[in-house]
Structure 1
Amino acid sequence: MPIAPLSPHDPTELGGYELLGRIGHGGMGQVYLGESPGGEPAAVKVIKPSVVDSETRQRFAQEVEILKTIWGARIAALLDADPEADRPWLATEYIEGLDLSRHVASHGPLPSLLTASLGATLAEALATVHKQGLLHRDLKPANVLLGPNGPKIIDFGLAVFAESSVSLTAPNTVVGTPSCMPPEQANGEKPLTPAVDVYALGAVLLFAVSGHLPYQAANIHVLFHQVTDPAIAPDLSGVPDELVPLLTAMLAHQAQDRPALDDVVQQCRAVIEAQGFKVAQARRRLTTHTAAPAQILDDLLPPAEAPTVPLSPTGQPGAEAAAAPSTTEPGTASTQVLPPTLPEPKPERTPTLVDSPKAQSETPGATDPAQSPPPEPAAGPGRAPSNLPTPGPRAKGRGGRPRHSAQARITAQRLREAYAARATF
């Protein structure tokens, strides 16, 4: 996920989380990459000071309470929150990877096999949310993160309790993303049903496999008209034949005509198995195709400066620096710079995707992907490393003691490697 540097006006610490950079923003808040005192990465969402009022706090507190009730392997977990702080914030699990919108923009649409795997995964995740009495209400490509362990759903800020008539939204106000919004939600109907998330998931899968959404218009009023007019069918151009029946049903104008999420899972399984794959194989291929190279927070920070080794009062370097040429006059106390020599990383080969099982069996040395782990994905276009600025003063942990930061750890590691390479034992 692209990381932008902090601005001079950004906080450097919130609720014990050290903020390292910006990873997203919206109309109401900013999302930062943070690190807990114990080194746990987190996405820290902060409400902008300009929009903090009693209604915003109430809505934000509702979001926190909803996140406390949601669980599931495909849901970004809540870590901590404080809606009563001067700047209300919440911290959720940090997922390293692009969202579906950016992935398709950078790498193109997904093949039908991987789209069906994505559909089965997300439908199962939404079914878990619905069992907890909740609706997402704002599922869209930008809210699907493609992490190293598979896709996960984020941003339950608009989530509501199913069958509930209680809302913080003003009357006749429609909140959500119109291009992924079902007609009944666009018309302001209440209460909403699980069918709204089925429609939104259909829009997400359509985007994944074709690169476009069901309706597109430059004018928001024209877009709302297209969504709510039953005579205007969604645009399914570019959709493979095997997915047309499923997406047509999921994007049906009437909520009662859409399939249940369990049926979506079964139909996605049928598409996968018709191509000769097992569901687990397709899931691994999806993750291999979409996951960004694994990184640790140290990789997102500026490189450590070269270590310095003090010279003795006589001007002679210590045993560790004996092989390095001196840059000071004899008798002068100074320091000797020893740049550590680290091995260059070898480039990885991008794996070939969506090979059929038959083609694999005809290839000498090929193995069934179900019996061997998928290759590590290589860095691709649009996944450039970030250039974060040098962090400011480190936040202190409990008890007032400075805690070891990621920058300190990488410096110590490079020192150890540099000295170990020159040691005589």
Structure 2
Amino acid sequence: MHIAPLSPHDPVELGGYELLGRIGHGGMGQVYLGESPGGEPAAVKVIKPSVVDSETRQRFAQEVEILKTIWGARIAALLDADAEADPPWLATEYIEGLDLSRHVARHGPLPSLLAASLGATLAEALATVHKQGLLHRDLKPANVLLGPNGPKIIDFGLAVFAESSVSLTAPNTVVGTPSCMAPEQARGDRPLTPAVDVYALGAVMLFAASGHLPYQAANIHVLFHQVTDPDTAPDLSAVPEELVPLLTAMLAHRAEDRPALSHVVQQCRAVIETQGFKVAQARRRLTTHTAAPSHVPDGLLPTVAAPSASTVPTDPAVAETKIWPTTGTTMVVSPATLEPATPEPTPTLVDRPAPRSRTAAAEPSPGPTSPAPATSTGDGSPSPPAAGSPRSRSVQRLHSAQARITAQRLREAYAAQAAF
């Protein structure tokens, strides 16, 4: 399992959030699955004590301030934070689903219809970020979570105010992910413009539609050379023909040659409408295609002591999570990147809608069939939690169904690995 039990050295609570398990890590920090007193799940990011210094704390505080500024339906929301705490921590919205990188690795590239829908959605989200005077600077497939309500952008740890030339990095230091980095960003140019996020979005769309990034090399120095060399064109092989013109423009070497995000949205809409769909219909198909539903029997829900005899209804299981380190020169910790606990086959969608009569309904052929609901086991009563939990307490708290499922899995994993 990619979700792991808390170690003896892990905190059990931060800022009022009870920590239930480890869901990811990076070079500078750890991310936990947490739960608020009211049962709200959260991804709680903590800086490791071994790397907390004045510069790290300042960068973390900048990330918190930026997350306070950002708003939007496609942005993982900040829930709470304390950059002055020991250790510094922040809690963001917990999104259940695979990131784009892992979805493509598991299920293959998206059809052009869905890749265009993804592009339009993310372009609109980035435009909102830019209107707030910010740049993301590290958009990549691993920072796009495909949640049950559509894609969301995470990890603004490298975000900067667009008009600011101030940087917390040392001179001649490049921070980010080279494989999705615009040439001017790779060269260390200052100040950066919104065009860097347009380029990164082009790289993300390329990956979604083809399964590979614009440049690939085993050596980091070779990769930087490919990105910054104006004579080395990005690899657009396996990209659907209808997306090639747009991606060519978005991945242009010169920043001034790249389209504005509003133009990206228009071109993505054109690709969608050419195939006979409306944008909202394509969005629904994208969400259906990328959602990772889980089915958990009622028996997985542990019994919780409560005054009432009523039973808490079953919710979908929380997805396993793991954070992948960036491939750049600096390790960056992101909020949780998700993976389902049990691989679920993703329905196959075609780019073209089925033929319709003139009297057919406005929406094209329906999406994939919804999965059957979860069923209970035995007599339907929930099974008790496994014994030997390292985090058992004398006083039990009433958790959300999602958190209880996660805690039960942690107990099972711990029991399976224990030597006694």
TM-score over 0.5 for the alignment? yes
Contact 1:284–1:374, Cα closer than 8 Å, also in 2: no
The C-alpha deviation readout for 1:287-334, integer Å capped at 9, x for no partner, is 0000111689x99x9652699xxxxxxxxxxxxxxxxxxxxxxxxxxx
Within a 5 Å distance, the mapping from 1:3-402 to structure 2 comes to: 3-293=3-293, 303-304=301-302, 351-354=347-350, 356-359=352-355, 361=356, 369=363, 375-376=369-370, 390=389, 392-393=391-392
Contact 1:351–1:377, Cα closer than 8 Å, also in 2: no
Q: Which amino acid aligns with 1:95?
A: I
Rate the CA distance shift 1:50–1:410 in 2: closer, same or farther, 3 A: closer
Rate the CA distance shift 1:42–1:291 in 2: closer, same or farther, 3 A: same
Q: Which amino acid aligns with 1:354?
A: V
Q: Which amino acid aligns with 1:49?
A: P
Contact 1:291–1:377, Cα closer than 8 Å, also in 2: no
Rate the CA distance shift 1:294–1:49 in 2: closer, same or farther, 3 A: same
Percent of paired sites with the same residue = 81
Contact 1:13–1:395, Cα closer than 8 Å, also in 2: no
CA distance in 1 between partners of 2:130 and 2:215 (Å): 26
Contact 2:111–2:351, Cα closer than 8 Å, also in 1: no
Which protein, 1 or 2, shows the higher relative CO under an 8 Å CA cutoff with sep ≥ 6? 2
Contact 2:289–2:346, Cα closer than 8 Å, also in 1: no
Secondary structure, aligned partner of 1:102: helix
The C-alpha deviation readout for 1:103-125, integer Å capped at 9, x for no partner, is 00110110100000000000000
Secondary structure, aligned partner of 2:354: helix
Q: CA deviation at 1:349?
A: 8.9
Structure 1 length normalisation: TM-score? 0.77
Secondary structure, aligned partner of 1:358: coil
Q: CA RMSD in A?
A: 3.2
Contact 2:107–2:346, Cα closer than 8 Å, also in 1: no
Q: Which amino acid aligns with 2:398?
A: H
Q: Show the counterpart of 1:419.
A: none
Rate the CA distance shift 1:41–1:391 in 2: closer, same or farther, 3 A: farther
Q: CA deviation at 1:10?
A: 1.9
Q: CA deviation at 1:352?
A: 4.6
Contact 1:289–1:377, Cα closer than 8 Å, also in 2: no
Q: CA deviation at 1:405?
A: 2.9
Rate the CA distance shift 1:213–1:406 in 2: closer, same or farther, 3 A: same
Structure ID, larger Rg: 1
Contact 1:37–1:403, Cα closer than 8 Å, also in 2: no
Secondary structure, aligned partner of 1:24: strand
CA distance in 1 between partners of 2:108 and 2:134 (Å): 32
Q: Show the counterpart of 1:327.
A: none
CA distance in 2 between partners of 1:182 and 1:390 (Å): 48
Greater alpha carbon shift after TM alignment, 4-13 vs 44-53: 4-13
CA distance in 2 between partners of 1:409 and 1:227 (Å): 43
Rate the CA distance shift 1:304–1:266 in 2: closer, same or farther, 3 A: same
Q: Which amino acid aligns with 1:131?
A: K
Greater alpha carbon shift after TM alignment, 115-124 vs 13-22: 13-22
Greater alpha carbon shift after TM alignment, 9-18 vs 43-52: 9-18
CA distance in 1 between partners of 2:252 and 2:402 (Å): 55
Contact 2:172–2:188, Cα closer than 8 Å, also in 1: yes
Q: Which amino acid aligns with 1:78?
A: L
CA distance in 1 between partners of 2:394 and 2:136 (Å): 35
The C-alpha deviation readout for 1:74-133, integer Å capped at 9, x for no partner, is 000000001111111000000000000000011011010000000000000000000000
Contact 1:96–1:294, Cα closer than 8 Å, also in 2: no
The C-alpha deviation readout for 1:349-387, integer Å capped at 9, x for no partner, is 96452363334x47xxx97657978743689xxxxxxx9
Mark the runs of 5 or more structure 2 residues left unpaired by the alignment: 306-313, 318-343, 374-385, 406-420
CA distance in 2 between partners of 1:131 and 1:189 (Å): 22
Q: Show the counterpart of 1:405.
A: 399
Secondary structure, aligned partner of 2:233: coil
Secondary structure, aligned partner of 1:357: coil
Rate the CA distance shift 1:106–1:372 in 2: closer, same or farther, 3 A: closer
Rate the CA distance shift 1:263–1:306 in 2: closer, same or farther, 3 A: closer
Q: CA deviation at 1:214?
A: 0.4
- Give the total of aligned pairs: 355
CA distance in 2 between partners of 1:259 and 1:268 (Å): 12
CA distance in 2 between partners of 1:37 and 1:25 (Å): 24
